[in-house]
């Protein structure tokens, strides 16, 4: 029996995600002591509603059964000390010297969350921890949001402030925007914070209102990783954001959320062709996302699949954020029996596609799609059949209760 077995009851250990168990074991090794808590937060996949969050629009992601976990205990000083088992590095920062840009690399996300939390006026205590994750990095499944939310959960357990998922998502988005320098919208952090087991979440990115839609047992959500690392994503992402803001302005609004399809047509003659296409994607995608939620709610899987297919075409032609690898993956997926719909997911330019696949066809589907994709591109892809899980959480470990 290892020290980890002694620290948790069997039930608790069974209920913990695999990376949480790995982090707890890693903590005993790195610190020669037992962790008191383990915080964990999931990655996400977006079913539909792409490049709509920063336009104040709608998204429909789900938190997935891949997590970043931190096993930790309180320190008596104002230091945060972290070992990352996956990066193979140790780092630390002082809570008395939080400054944007002061810390870089993987630790900058933890430092940013501390900084953004401190800006809200909460008192933070120092802690030490070990991080382990099974969210693939750089694949567009929000490994950074999962890390941020796990850090926020760790601070909430050590500092004793109450947890409010949507508020913490905002804090973590601020950490990413202002502290780590990545200009993302709210979707990733909100999905990781507020996931609901067995459900996708319709999120209104303006009000942060969330409406869960049940995932039908007749289908599985399959994430198809192209193994094409996302290139140029930051600059192209920022460019799309400003193009959307300009297009909204040309239609007399601050956000494309407030522009109707009719309104866009009215302004078409005065807009350049590129602005029109960008706006056309966002406005039609918002409508598709609300329709997809309605389709899920009434169990209309064919309609959901068709909307996912349309979303991909719009992202490919109007918004121009797909790439050859994503198009090949989507094409391979759509050819397979049992595939009701497939599209790129996340920011684009590489990363993952997502497919809606009939449950009884899913094993053959993943085997055939990965084989066909590899034959066409020479890249070795990965397929993850994902479950929808609950959002960020923290558990007190048994021996210290």
Q: What residues are labeled active site?
A: 188
**Among 57, 322, 319, CA closest to 187:** 57
**DSSP category for residue 100:** T
Inter-CA distances, 355 with 11, 50, 192, 291, Å: 33, 15, 20, 17
Strands 199-204 and 89-94: unpaired
Tokens representing 343 are 């599209």
Tokens representing 133 are 């994750």
Q: How far is the CB of 354 from ligand GLA (least distance, A)?
A: 12
Q: Residues 197-236: x/- map of binding to ligand GLA (CB under 6 A)?
A: ----------------------------------------
Inter-CA distances, 160 with 55, 154, 299, 391, Å: 34, 10, 41, 19
| Burial (Cβ within 10 Å: 0-12, 13-18, ≥19) of residue 11 | exposed
Q: How far is the CB of 7 from ligand GLA (least distance, A)?
A: 35
Closer to ligand GLA by CB, 60 or 131: give it.
Answer: 60
Q: How far is the CB of 61 from ligand GLA (least distance, A)?
A: 9
Q: Which of 22, 30, 37, 51 binds ligand GLA (CB under 6 A)?
A: 51
Contact 288, 307 (CB under 8 A): yes
DSSP element (H, E) containing 83: strand 79-84
CA distance 159 to 148: 16
Q: Which of 187, 253, 279, 332 binds ligand GLA (CB under 6 A)?
A: 187
Taking CB under 6 A as the rule, does residue 53 contact ligand GLA? yes
**Among 326, 242, 285, 352, CA closest to 59:** 285
Q: Which stretch binds ligand GLA (CB under 6 A): 31-39, 51-59, 210-218, 356-364?
A: 51-59
Count of residues interacting with ligand GLA (CB under 6 A): 10
Q: How far is the CB of 394 from ligand GLA (least distance, A)?
A: 24
Q: How far is the CB of 91 from ligand GLA (least distance, A)?
A: 24
Q: Which of 27, 40, 54, 109 binds ligand GLA (CB under 6 A)?
A: 54
Q: Which of 185, 305, 350, 391 binds ligand GLA (CB under 6 A)?
A: 185
Q: Which of residues 311-370 bind ligand GLA (CB under 6 A)?
A: 346-347
Q: Which stretch binds ligand GLA (CB under 6 A): 49-57, 157-165, 251-259, 380-388?
A: 49-57
Q: Which stretch binds ligand GLA (CB under 6 A): 10-18, 45-53, 126-134, 355-363?
A: 45-53
- Compute how many other C-beta atoms are within 10 angstroms of the C-beta atom of residue 340: 20
- Compute how many other C-beta atoms are within 10 angstroms of the C-beta atom of residue 14: 9
CA distance 32 to 44: 33
Q: Which of residues 124-143 bind ligand GLA (CB under 6 A)?
A: none
Q: Which of 184, 190, 201, 326 binds ligand GLA (CB under 6 A)?
A: 184
Closer to ligand GLA by CB, 34 or 146: give it.
Answer: 146
Q: How far is the CB of 365 from ligand GLA (least distance, A)?
A: 25
**DSSP category for residue 270:** G
Inter-CA distances, 69 with 23, 76, 114, 203, 332, Å: 6, 22, 17, 25, 34
Q: Which of 50, 56, 65, 225 binds ligand GLA (CB under 6 A)?
A: 50
Q: Which stretch binds ligand GLA (CB under 6 A): 22-30, 185-193, 303-311, 385-393?
A: 185-193
- How many residues does the structure list for the chain? 401
Closer to ligand GLA by CB, 51 or 83: give it.
Answer: 51
**Among 349, 347, 307, 313, CA closest to 330:** 313
> Sheet holding 127-133: strands in order across?
89-94, 79-84, 127-133, 61-74, 37-46, 393-396
Q: How far is the CB of 233 from ligand GLA (least distance, A)?
A: 8
Closer to ligand GLA by CB, 24 or 344: give it.
Answer: 344
Q: Which stretch binds ligand GLA (CB under 6 A): 23-31, 103-111, 181-189, 369-377?
A: 181-189
Residue 72 three-state SS: strand
Q: Which of 148, 188, 285, 318 binds ligand GLA (CB under 6 A)?
A: 188
Tokens representing 225 are 């990783």
Q: How far is the CB of 136 from ligand GLA (least distance, A)?
A: 14
| Site of interaction with ligand GLA (CB under 6 A) | 50-51, 53-54, 184-185, 187-188, 346-347
């Amino acid at each position: 029996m290892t020290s980890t077995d002694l620290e948790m009851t069997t039930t608790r250990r069974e209920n913990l995600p695999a990376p949480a168990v790995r982090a707890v074991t890693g903590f005993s090794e790195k610190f020669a002591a037992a962790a008191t808590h383990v915080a964990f937060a999931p990655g996400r996949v977006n079913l539909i509603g792409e490049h709509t969050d920063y336009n104040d629009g709608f998204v429909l992601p789900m938190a997935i059964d891949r997590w970043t976990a931190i096993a930790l205990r309180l320190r008596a000083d104002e230091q945060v000390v972290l070992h990352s088992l996956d990066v193979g590095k140790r780092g630390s920062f002082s809570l008395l010297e939080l400054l944007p840009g002061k810390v870089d690399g993987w630790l900058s996300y933890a430092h940013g969350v501390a900084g953004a939390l401190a800006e809200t006026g909460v008192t933070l205590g120092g802690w030490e921890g070990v991080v382990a994750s099974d969210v693939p990095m750089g694949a567009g499944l929000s490994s950074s949001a999962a890390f941020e939310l796990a850090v926020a959960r760790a601070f909430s357990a050590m500092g004793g402030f109450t947890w409010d998922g949507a508020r913490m998502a905002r804090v973590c988005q601020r950490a990413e925007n202002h502290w780590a320098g990545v200009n993302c919208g709210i979707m990733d952090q909100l999905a990781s914070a507020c996931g609901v087991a067995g459900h996708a979440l319709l999120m209104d990115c303006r009000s942060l209102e969330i409406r869960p839609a049940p995932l039908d047992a007749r289908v599985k959500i399959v994430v198809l990783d192209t193994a094409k690392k996302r290139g140029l994503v930051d600059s192209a992402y920022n460019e799309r954001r400003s193009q959307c803001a300009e297009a909204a302005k040309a239609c007399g609004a601050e956000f494309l959320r407030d522009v109707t399809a009719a309104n866009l047509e009215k302004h078409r003659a005065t807009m350049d062709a590129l602005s029109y296409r960008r706006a056309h994607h966002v406005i039609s995608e918002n409508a598709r996302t609300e329709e997809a939620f309605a389709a899920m709610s009434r169990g209309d899987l064919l309609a959901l699949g068709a909307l996912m297919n349309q979303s991909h075409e719009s992202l490919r032609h109007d918004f121009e954020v797909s790439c050859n690898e994503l198009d090949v993956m989507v094409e391979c997926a759509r050819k397979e029996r049992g595939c009701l719909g497939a599209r790129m997911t996340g920011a684009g330019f590489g990363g993952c596609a997502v497919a809606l696949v009939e449950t009884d066809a899913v094993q053959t589907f993943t085997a055939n799609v990965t084989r066909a994709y590899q034959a066409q591109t020479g890249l070795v892809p990965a397929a993850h059949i994902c479950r929808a899980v609950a959002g960020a959480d923290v558990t007190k470990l048994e021996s210290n209760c």
